[in-house]
Amino acid sequence: MKSVLLLANGPGELWGWVRPVAAELKRRSRNVTLLLLPCQFASGEERRVAENLAPDELRGPSGLAGTLRDALVLGRTAEAVLQLGGDPAWGRIAAWAGRAPLLCYAYGRKNGLSSFDRVFTAYPPMAELMGEGVQVVGDLVRDSLALDGQDFSGDDAAPAVLFFPGSRAAIREFSFPFLREMLPFLKNRAPGWRFSVVLSPFSTQGEEEAWRSAGFYSARGAEAFRGAEFAVTQPGTNTLELMYRRIPFCVLVPFTSLRKIPLPGLPGLFASLPGIGPSLRETVLRRRRKKMELLAWPNRLAGRMLAEEFIGDYSPETAAEFVISWLRDRSRRDGLRDALGEVAASAPPGAAAAVADEIERMAVRE
């Protein structure tokens, strides 16, 4: 039986993009096949999380030979191929094998976009950077949040600061001792606030207890956002999720964490080598920071610093003082909340439905 083949790789694409598209296609009684691609950004938990999305068939992740085999086999029975992350070469191989229409959703320019039959993105500024013919359909991340159920942010619980320690184990291994050292300063200087860790779907079972033993509240899903008034996060999809929830936030990237952050493309391959890899990651990311590139997605979309990015050589105590400055300034948080809402409103709603509509139109033509 023909199916829609979805290709994805890392945690952000799988949870933020595949999840709403797969749910919409299943709602329309379409068969959904998911191929997980090799990824240097992987958490190691992609297969487990993907199984919970209940695709009709799931393959990967595996090595290059296994991925090539899967792309050819699954492509032969695909009525359409939708690339949701990963190297576009895999989408082209699968579409060629089944002579199926090839579509792509992305946040930025990729090599080979001209070979796709349709290219979608979330926001007009993204489309402008990607070239002609890119269709703005809205942000799949917003559709993904709608699947989480009730939003508890801003309710009448004790005001909470949320911490996002990351979806990859290597990042969490750094985040845990750093945030644990921050906590006593935060509790001492900001009494009456609750400090809660929001665990990713890609974190392993049992991590809640470790964070609670360190003195944090800990939760997953929509419940984790109860009473949220401010958040501390890293660059990535989390910054968009916070924007849609209209939770003011800041980005913390201590330079001491740079050796744990993966890189895309060819630099990422070299950075995975033992020995020189960690120092190469740190060198590349320090150079990027010198160019003053914005990291948080709302900042990049606005073209200016909305949510503050605190990046450099600093201690947990200094980071805590930075966070406390936000907790003591309600008007500043409200101003950021309004600015985030304005950026969020600039994308059309219903991204998953728009993508599914186009998939069905193109599948019928074939």
Q: Is residue 275 part of a domain?
A: yes
Q: Is residue 146 part of a domain?
A: no
261 in the same domain as 323: yes
305: left (phi over 0), alpha (psi -120 to 50) or beta: beta
Which sign, positive or negative, has the C-alpha torsion 149, 238, 336, 154?
A: positive
318 in the same domain as 180: yes
183 in the same domain as 67: no
CATH number reported for the structural domain that contains residue 229 in this entry? 3.40.50.2000
Q: Is residue 93 part of a domain?
A: yes
60 in the same domain as 198: no
94 in the same domain as 213: no
Task: Tally the domains of the chain.
Answer: 2
199 in the same domain as 330: yes
213 in the same domain as 132: no
User: Which tens digit of pLDDT belongs to each residue from 256-280?
Assistant: 655 445 544 444 444 454 555 555 5
Q: Note the pLDDT of residue 274.
A: 52
Q: Are 305 and 297 in contact (CB under 8 A)?
A: no
DSSP state of 256: G
Q: Is residue 300 part of a domain?
A: yes
331 in the same domain as 243: yes
| Alpha carbon distances (Å) from 106 to 8, 130, 134, 192 | 11, 9, 10, 41
207 in the same domain as 128: no
165 in the same domain as 21: no
pTM of the predicted structure, to 2 decimals: 0.88
Q: Is residue 155 part of a domain?
A: no
Q: Which domain holds residue 196?
A: 160-344
Torsion of CA 219, 350, 362, 124, to 10 degrees: -100
Amino acid at 186: L
207 in the same domain as 119: no
Q: Note the pLDDT of residue 364.
A: 66
Ranges in the chain, pLDDT < 50 = 259-260, 263-271, 273
Q: Is residue 147 part of a domain?
A: no
In 3D, which of 281, 256, 279, 257 has the Cα closest to residue 267? 281
In 3D, which of 31, 41, 38 has the Cα closest to residue 6? 31
167 in the same domain as 102: no
CA 353 from chain center: how many Å? 20
Q: Is residue 151 part of a domain?
A: no
